[in-house]
Chains A and B, each alone.
Chain A
Amino acid sequence: MSEKISRRDFLKLTAMGAATTAVMTGCGPMSRYVVRRPYTQMPEYNQTGESTYYASTCRECPAGCGIIVRTREGRALTIEGNPNHPVNRGRLCARGLTAQQGLYNPDRIRAPRFQGRSNPATPGRDLTWDEAVQVVATALQKPPQRIAFLLGLAPDHLYDLVSELTQALGAPPPLRYNALAALEGRTTLIEAVRRLFGSPALPYFDLAQAEVTLAFGADFLQSWLSPVTYTRAYGAMRQGNPRRRGELIVFEPRQSLTAGNADRWVPIVPGSEAHVVLALGQRVAELRGLPVPEAFRAVRPEEAAQVSGLPLEQLETLAQTFATATRPLALVGGSALTQPNGLVTAQAVLALNALVGNLGQPGGVFLSAAAATPTPLAEVKALVERMQAGEVDVLFIHGVNPLFEVPAALGFEAALARVPLVINFAAFPDETALKSDYLFPDHSPLESFGYQRSLAGSDRPAWSALQPVVVPLYDTRATVDVLLAAAQASGQALLPYRDEVDFIQQKILPLINAGGFYTAPEILTFWSRWLQHGGWWTPAAGLPTPTLERLPASFGTLTPPTPPAEGAFYLLTYANHLGDGSGANRPWLQELPDAMTTVTWNSWVEIHPRTAEELGLKDDDVVRITTPYGSVEASVYRYPAIRPDTLAIPFGQGHTALGRWAEGRGCNPAQVLPAGHNAAGDLAFIGTTATLTPTGRRRPLARVESKEGVYGEH
């Protein structure tokens, strides 16, 4: 065989060997596989090998934390908190820290596109932006009453522009919806503030200086209003107060992260929060020697004890703790509001604060500096009805994914099919985007200009600025620019703005003389400082003090919760670090263990271990949860800190679209939620009951609490 190898072959083989060795050893010649392309023109802000930092605003949730993005050679590397920003003071939560996984997500929509909604007669095709602007311009010329805008809670500048646009057109004002806001009962809170204090603002609770805090349903450490602000305040409340370590008592049927950190968790019957607050209010007033307001007399303490399952003597102890505290504070949100009694609870809790006189006091209640926009499900419902009736010719969607976030029972999907023209500005191919006619992708938040009014978490008036930290990666365009261009192309003089930056500059113009911590003689200098600092705020803390003229005689009708039928359970859902579900395509948020259960990458259903034992269920058994509105399947997680008559499913998983990391994981509780709403128009799902059927299958959950892994367990 040796004679078969010619000299020529030998040389060939040697060369191959050389190449292999060169690759394998990776020495020296490695440089040959690297190419360095220097700038054609070095930007003046760039120094080779040095990071450039840009101040911007996080848009992963509506709170509006200030971020500083570290970039190098035009790439966004890490997200850090803006140390001067009044909302987060340099701190960030898990969601904000993964924003670059959204920017560099491989599943982004990369160019404008016509989809044809899988109609074979109209095949999908890519468009140019000129065509896209023309499509929007034509859509804007439809009869104004038949145009609808559905927006998310961020960014605010787009909402402001669309508000002006719809006003100029004579169309109905834009509607906002966001699952996070729906789950935290934001609309109910705003409505309660409006009823008691006269302005539709969000309350700001000075948790940092409070000494005894009662929290009704508000999971402020993970999802409520502004988690970073309140987590910062929580830290200060525990160890930063020179007077005493603050005490926290949480009332909710399922222990959230906040209740887990509380000194005391009171698992009352879901839907009985209003009864408890009213009864507490009576006793607090009596203990403080005040006349008991009429509205608090709606419930007798014995009745409250019976409805909530909280013994009278415990109620008494809690009332005494609260009434005798130097700086008492009561918070309300989440499961205490998203129920038929929600508006009563919200008003009662705010009135309880007024009763102990902490309005505008350190450790008390303040109001956000500007009006907050509500996000009522009731109006989404009205929109769905209009869509069903064929009264909507064109629907614009931005920053919200209604097919995922809105309870399926509302029938949004069927209604969407009846709208002849759906234009979606989504950056990702989410459920709604796939059912839209046109995709006109907006930039990623890290490529965008804009502003967000920091309402929920700022102790002072604050506007948070967004600016692009990298050049747009793909052929995307800012939605504000598209709308402005379309408004121009439609031939009517609708809006007096040249482009997005011009619009923002005109909107922030009044801030020059509004007493901020910097100012400038004219807008261009002001603009550069606005971008440099990442927004505008006042130098000193200060928010409006709520004033209570007089309490209404009644907060509204009170319906006691109906106990679940035999074999049924209360069902609730809550937001964890995946937020409204848009975080499900960030792989690191998927990989992040849920704080309480340590489950990653999937959904689960929380069942009390005793209940599970009665039903013969073990961890990881797949069960089917059925409500009158639908059913979902999930693996059992035996959760020791939930009422035995309650089941809980986290929100955020169960995507059928949204890219490789989100699709086909877990279940979406929006499939089983009712479409009902409370008196404020907010989603009301607490009190929904569900039945549970074992499927006989097992699906292990990837839990981090087992260091050796869970696959070996079964």
Chain B
Amino acid sequence: MRVKKSWWQSGGIRIAAAFVFLILFGGAASGIYLSQIPPEQPIAFPHKTHVALGAQCAYCHPAADWGPNAGLPSLSKCWGCHQQVQKKSPELEKLAGYVQRNEPIPWVPVAIQPDFVKFNHQPHVRAGIACETCHGPVSQMTVALPQPRQNMGWCLDCHQRMRPNDFVRLSDCATCHY
């Protein structure tokens, strides 16, 4: 006697299920991949060149020293140097365009935490942590690159290496989440 197969055992359904799985898996894989490549910026800002010329991080991102956000330089700060430096390049022409139109440059942030994470640069800078520790070798980057796996474990990994009684404080949920 021929045993009647259940509907979910039919070939078509199984192939369809395989496709759905593949699509989801592929999607997830590319989603993760997308998160690890730098976003497109309005100007391909070469960090490398600026650091090589001796510009300190805090020259353009001074707020790291006193507040939660490092901040982005204002247009007038860029132009303060670049109106002296008459080097021809398509990227600099874009900058000149923004200056002419007096229009802010719509930068896309790269190192960004979700709303429920309250990161503050100031105590980290004051504790003598170098910018590169978290932001990677910016002096070798053109546009800033996202750092992989910057998640809570990554934060705690470093906090754990502090003195034991500091770890209680630094592993407290309320240190970052409120």
State yes or no: do A and B touch (Cβ within 8 Å): yes
| Best-surrounded residue of A13, A28, A39, A47 (most CB of chain B within 10 A) | A28
Given A38-B71, A39-B74, A41-B76: A32 touches B30 (CB 8 Å cut-off)? no
- Contacting residues, chain A, for B98 (C-beta < 8 A): 40
Stretch of B86-94, B103-111, B158-166 with 4 or more beta carbons under 8 angstroms from chain A? B103-111
> Is the beta-carbon distance between B23 and A14 smaller than 8 angstroms?
yes
> Is the beta-carbon distance between A17 and B68 smaller than 8 angstroms?
no
Interface residue ranges of A78-105 to B (CB < 8 Å)? none
> Is the beta-carbon distance between A31 and B108 smaller than 8 angstroms?
yes
B39 at the binding interface (Cβ < 8 Å): yes
A22 at the binding interface (Cβ < 8 Å): yes
> Is the beta-carbon distance between A16 and B27 smaller than 8 angstroms?
yes
B114 contact from A17, A26, A32, Cβ within 8 A: A26
A493 at the binding interface (Cβ < 8 Å): no
Interface residue ranges of B57-116 to A (CB < 8 Å)? 62-63, 66-77, 98-99, 102-110, 112, 114
Query: How long is the Cα–Cα vector from A629 to B146 in the complex, in angstroms?
Result: 71
Chain A residue nearest to B104 (CB atoms) is A37
Given A5-B19, A37-B106, A38-B75: A17 touches B63 (CB 8 Å cut-off)? no
> Is the beta-carbon distance between B35 and A27 smaller than 8 angstroms?
yes
Chain B residue nearest to A14 (CB atoms) is B26
B141 at the binding interface (Cβ < 8 Å): no
Query: How long is the Cα–Cα vector from A38 to B63 in the complex, in angstroms?
Result: 13
Query: How long is the Cα–Cα vector from A16 to B23 in the complex, in angstroms?
Result: 9
Chain B proximity of A182: nearest CB distance (Å): 45
For the side of the interface on B, what is the size category?
A: 35 or more
> Is the beta-carbon distance between A40 and B63 smaller than 8 angstroms?
no
Chain B proximity of A273: nearest CB distance (Å): 51
> Is the beta-carbon distance between A48 and B24 smaller than 8 angstroms?
no
- Contacting residues, chain B, for A2 (C-beta < 8 A): 12, 15-16, 19
B119-152 to A contact mask, C-beta < 8 Å, 1/0: 0000000000000000000000000001000000
- Contacting residues, chain A, for B53 (C-beta < 8 A): none
A306 at the binding interface (Cβ < 8 Å): no
Chain A residue nearest to B101 (CB atoms) is A40
- Contacting residues, chain A, for B72 (C-beta < 8 A): 36, 38, 48
> Is the beta-carbon distance between A32 and B39 smaller than 8 angstroms?
yes
A42 contact from B30, B77, B114, Cβ within 8 A: B77
Query: How long is the Cα–Cα vector from A485 to B94 in the complex, in angstroms?
Result: 42
Chain B proximity of A49: nearest CB distance (Å): 3
A29 at the binding interface (Cβ < 8 Å): yes
Chain B proximity of A29: nearest CB distance (Å): 5
Given A28-B36, A50-B63: A40 touches B27 (CB 8 Å cut-off)? no
Given A32-B108, A38-B74, A38-B105: A48 touches B19 (CB 8 Å cut-off)? no
B3-33 to A contact mask, C-beta < 8 Å, 1/0: 0000000001001100100111011111110
Query: How long is the Cα–Cα vector from A39 to B77 in the complex, in angstroms?
Result: 10
Query: How long is the Cα–Cα vector from A1 to B14 in the complex, in angstroms?
Result: 11
B34 at the binding interface (Cβ < 8 Å): yes
Query: How long is the Cα–Cα vector from A604 to B2 in the complex, in angstroms?
Result: 75
Query: How long is the Cα–Cα vector from A34 to B106 in the complex, in angstroms?
Result: 9
> Is the beta-carbon distance between B69 and A49 smaller than 8 angstroms?
yes
A49-81 to B contact mask, C-beta < 8 Å, 1/0: 110000000000000000000000000000000
A20 at the binding interface (Cβ < 8 Å): yes
- Contacting residues, chain B, for A31 (C-beta < 8 A): 39, 108-110, 112, 146
Query: How long is the Cα–Cα vector from A20 to B28 in the complex, in angstroms?
Result: 9
A48 contact from B12, B32, B63, Cβ within 8 A: B63
A580-620 to B contact mask, C-beta < 8 Å, 1/0: 00000000000000000000000000000000000000000
> Is the beta-carbon distance between B75 and A18 smaller than 8 angstroms?
no
Chain A proximity of B46: nearest CB distance (Å): 18
A15 at the binding interface (Cβ < 8 Å): yes
> Is the beta-carbon distance between A49 and B71 smaller than 8 angstroms?
yes
Given A2-B16, A38-B72, A40-B76: A30 touches B112 (CB 8 Å cut-off)? yes
Interface residue ranges of A443-467 to B (CB < 8 Å)? none
Chain B residue nearest to A51 (CB atoms) is B67
- Contacting residues, chain B, for A6 (C-beta < 8 A): none
> Is the beta-carbon distance between A13 and B36 smaller than 8 angstroms?
no
Query: How long is the Cα–Cα vector from A48 to B22 in the complex, in angstroms?
Result: 46
- Contacting residues, chain B, for A41 (C-beta < 8 A): 74-76
- Contacting residues, chain A, for B68 (C-beta < 8 A): 49
Chain B proximity of A2: nearest CB distance (Å): 4
> Is the beta-carbon distance between A40 and B31 smaller than 8 angstroms?
no
- Contacting residues, chain B, for A19 (C-beta < 8 A): 27, 31
Chain A proximity of B124: nearest CB distance (Å): 14
- Contacting residues, chain A, for B31 (C-beta < 8 A): 18-19, 21-22, 25, 27-29
> Is the beta-carbon distance between B67 and A47 smaller than 8 angstroms?
yes
- Contacting residues, chain B, for A10 (C-beta < 8 A): 19, 23
- Contacting residues, chain B, for A50 (C-beta < 8 A): 63, 66-67
A340-374 to B contact mask, C-beta < 8 Å, 1/0: 00000000000000000000000000000000000
> Is the beta-carbon distance between A35 and B108 smaller than 8 angstroms?
yes
Given A2-B15, A39-B104: A17 touches B23 (CB 8 Å cut-off)? yes
Given A2-B12, A30-B114, A47-B63: A38 touches B107 (CB 8 Å cut-off)? yes
| Best-surrounded residue of B35, B36, B62, B72 (most CB of chain A within 10 A) | B35
Chain B proximity of A607: nearest CB distance (Å): 45
B102 contact from A13, A29, A40, Cβ within 8 A: A40
> Is the beta-carbon distance between A28 and B35 smaller than 8 angstroms?
yes
State the 8 A-B residue pairs at the shortest beta-carbon distance, nearest first: A28-B35, A17-B27, A48-B71, A49-B67, A18-B30, A48-B63, A37-B104, A49-B69
- Known contacts A29-B34, A36-B107, A47-B63; 6 further A-B pairs (Cβ under 8 A): A30-B112, A30-B114, A37-B106, A38-B72, A39-B104, A42-B77
Binding site for B on A (CB under 8 A): 1-2, 5, 10, 13-22, 25-32, 34-42, 47-50
A-B contact pairs, 28 of them (CB 8 A): A2-B15, A5-B19, A15-B30, A16-B23, A17-B24, A18-B26, A18-B27, A18-B28, A21-B30, A21-B31, A22-B30, A22-B35, A27-B32, A28-B32, A29-B34, A32-B39, A34-B109, A35-B106, A38-B72, A39-B74, A40-B75, A42-B76, A48-B71, A48-B72, A49-B63, A49-B66, A49-B67, A50-B63
